[in-house]
């Protein structure tokens, strides 16, 4: 903390010194100009003083604007964790693990088999190493190993390819929905990479699948207004080892069928000098929270079943809640991103529904606002629901469907695996706009709107590099 205060004090002193000398130079130059201008010499001394004061105040206002204006938020780069091939969990492997555990009734096994077969997941998703052990007793050690492996490998790859030293990281944010140990996961990374003593850390837990997007939004808000923080490292992961459900409640068994291992690390900066090296610039961000509504609050809920076994229950009205949350969220986002033609269409649609008890805006064409959309990869039903509500063509939801097939629902990191799909396909061009949309427990909806600063390209650590030639597939 002392180091942080010293760093801030030095920056403030340097800014004051620069401003003082600039004002002094301007004053002397202005005085010389006014003194040497024949027309101004004819003015009354008091009027000359007024002119001098106005020009001086103009410069002062310009300096104040330059020192307080929002700074750009740039996505320098990102990296997604790709587990070893021996962690792949095909349908046959998942069936074997389920039967070997001897924790489920035959009805529960049949139910999970049906969910898996129509889930949209393929045979190359990943689970933690602990799932392949014969001891099915959840342990803190296995949860730590799962979190540490995914986060550290993603961060190592990210720092290596951006050539940003660990000593330059000013802010670390970790989002993990279901695992919050002590010391925290941010402390794990600070210890592992020897980040400076002045680093600020935020550990976000129980925020659900939306907070990969939400964590970047938080970093962006800090970078947007800070002169001290230059580099923010955002790491998003999930903990499955302690949260696999060993019971027979059907609403809780669904999570076993769709959630898989994954992690991502993202480096964002507000340094304008990095614009040429950055991938994208953050244009808009938005978070909405529907937690005041009872149905939204309990749509995805961690609880004990009838036998006292803890699990996350996905309620039957989750899709309806997601639809209502998406509608409320998009209603706030539309004025910021849609062209006037689409906004006029929405207004005319509302006018045409005047007098109806249930008034919903006409659905605009979101492809007029975005060239690319990262739809929340929560599951087959979620992707279909979003596509139907927003009238998105199959080619728009293709990255989400392929990401679900290849990696499953990796929770808060899912949008970055989707971004990696775009990069692997080389679809993003400089100037393109991209919308990242994610949902989470609570019920929350989060959005990021980016503008590409350069054409996309597949990096050596892209998780799709060995299989992108096989995609897209006809998954459902």
d(CA 108, CA 127): 20
Q: Which one is catalytic: 376, 403, 446, 462?
A: 376
How many residues are given for the chain?
Answer: 476
Three-state SS letters, the chain: CHHHHHHHHHHHHHHHHHHHHHHHHHHHHHHHHHHHCHHHHCCCHHHHHHHHHHHHHHHHHHHHHHHHCCCCCEEEEEEECCCCHHHECCHHHHHHHHHHHCCCCHHHHHHHHHHHHCCCCCCCCECCHHHHCCCCCCCHHHHHHHHHHHHHHHHHHHHHHHCCCHHHCCEEEEEECCCCCCCCHHHHHHHHHCCCCCCEEEEEECCHHHHHHHHHHHHHHHHHHCCCCCEEEEEEECCCCCCCCCCCCHHHHHHHHHECCCEEEEEEECCHHHCCCCCEEEEEEEEEECCCCHHHHCCEEEEECCCCCEEEEECCCHHHHHHHHHHHHHHHHHHHHCCHHHHHHHHHHHHHCCCCCCCCCCCCCHHHCCCEEECCCCCHHHHHHHHHHCCCCHHHHHHHHHHHHHHCECHHHHHHHHHHHHHHHCCCCCCCEEEEEEEECCCEEEEEEEEECCCCCCCCCCCCCCCHHHCCCCCC
Catalytic residue among 203, 243, 257, 289, which?
289
40 φ, ψ to 5°? -70, -30
Annotated active-site residue in 243, 270, 409, 462: 409
Token pair 């002392």 is found at: 2
Prior bond to 448 cis, omega within 30?
no
Active site residue 376: yes
Does the annotation mark 39 as catalytic? no
Angle between helices 318-337 and 380-389 (to 10 degrees): 40
Catalytic residue at 257?
no
Catalytic residue among 209, 257, 403, 446: 209
Taking the C-alpha atoms of residue 302 and residue 289, their distance in angstroms, rounded to an integer, is 18
Cα distance between residue 34 and residue 31, in whole Å: 5
99: its two tokens: 């039967």
The answer to whether 317 touches 304, Cβ cutoff 8 Å, is no
Is 409 an annotated catalytic residue?
Answer: yes
65 is catalytic: no
**Of 270, 372, 374, 462, which one is the catalytic site residue?**
372
Instruction: Catalogue the active-site residues.
Output: 209, 289, 372, 376, 405, 409
């Amino acid at each position: 903390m002392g180091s942080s205060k010293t760093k801030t004090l030095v920056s403030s002193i340097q800014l004051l010194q620069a401003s003082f000398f600039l004002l002094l130079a301007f004053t002397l130059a202005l005085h010389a100009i006014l003194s040497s201008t024949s027309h101004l010499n004819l003015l009354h001394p008091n009027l000359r003083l007024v002119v001098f004061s106005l020009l001086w105040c103009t410069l002062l206002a310009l300096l104040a604007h330059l020192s307080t204006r929002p700074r750009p938020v740039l996505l320098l780069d990102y990296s997604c964790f790709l587990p070893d091939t021996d962690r792949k969990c095909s349908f046959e492997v998942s069936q074997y693990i389920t039967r070997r555990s001897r924790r489920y009734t035959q009805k529960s096994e049949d139910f999970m088999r049906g969910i898996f077969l129509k889930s949209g997941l393929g045979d190359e998703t990943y689970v933690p190493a602990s799932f392949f052990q014969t001891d099915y007793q959840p342990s803190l050690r296995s949860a730590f190993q799962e979190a540490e492996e995914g986060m550290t490998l993603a961060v190592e790859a990210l720092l290596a390819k951006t050539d940003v030293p660990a000593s330059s990281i000013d802010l670390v944010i970790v989002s993990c929905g279901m695992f919050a140990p002590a010391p925290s996961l941010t402390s794990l990374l600070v210890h592992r990479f020897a980040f400076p003593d002045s680093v600020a850390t935020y550990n976000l837990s129980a925020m659900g699948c939306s907070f990969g997007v939400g964590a970047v939004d938080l970093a962006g808000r800090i970078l947007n207004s800070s002169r001290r923080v230059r580099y923010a490292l955002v790491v998003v992961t999930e903990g499955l080892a302690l949260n696999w459900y060993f019971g027979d409640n059907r609403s809780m068994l669904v999570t076993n069928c769709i959630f898989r291992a994954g992690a991502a690390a993202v480096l964002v900066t507000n340094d304008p000098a990095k614009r040429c090296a950055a991938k994208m610039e953050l244009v808009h961000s938005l978070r909405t929270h529907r937690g005041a509504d009872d149905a939204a609050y309990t749509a995805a809920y961690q609880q004990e079943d009838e036998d006292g076994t803890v699990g996350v229950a996905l309620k039957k009205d989750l899709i309806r809640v997601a639809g209502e949350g998406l509608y409320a969220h998009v209603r706030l986002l539309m004025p910021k991103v849609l062209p006037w033609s689409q906004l006029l269409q929405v207004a005319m649609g509302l006018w045409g529904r005047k007098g109806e008890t249930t008034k919903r805006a006409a659905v605009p064409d979101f492809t007029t606002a975005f060239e690319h959309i990262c739809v929340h990869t929560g599951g087959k039903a979620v992707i279909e629901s979003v596509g139907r509500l927003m009238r998105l063509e199959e080619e728009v939801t293709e990255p989400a469907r392929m990401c679900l097939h290849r990696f499953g629902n990796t929770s808060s990191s899912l949008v970055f695996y989707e971004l990696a799909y775009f990069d692997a396909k080389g679809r993003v061009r400089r100037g393109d706009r991209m919308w990242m949309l994610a949902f989470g427990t609570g019920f929350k909806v989060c959005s990021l709107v980016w503008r590409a600063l350069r054409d996309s390209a597949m990096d050596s650590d892209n998780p799709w590099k060995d299989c992108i030639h096989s995609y897209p597939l006809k998954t459902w």
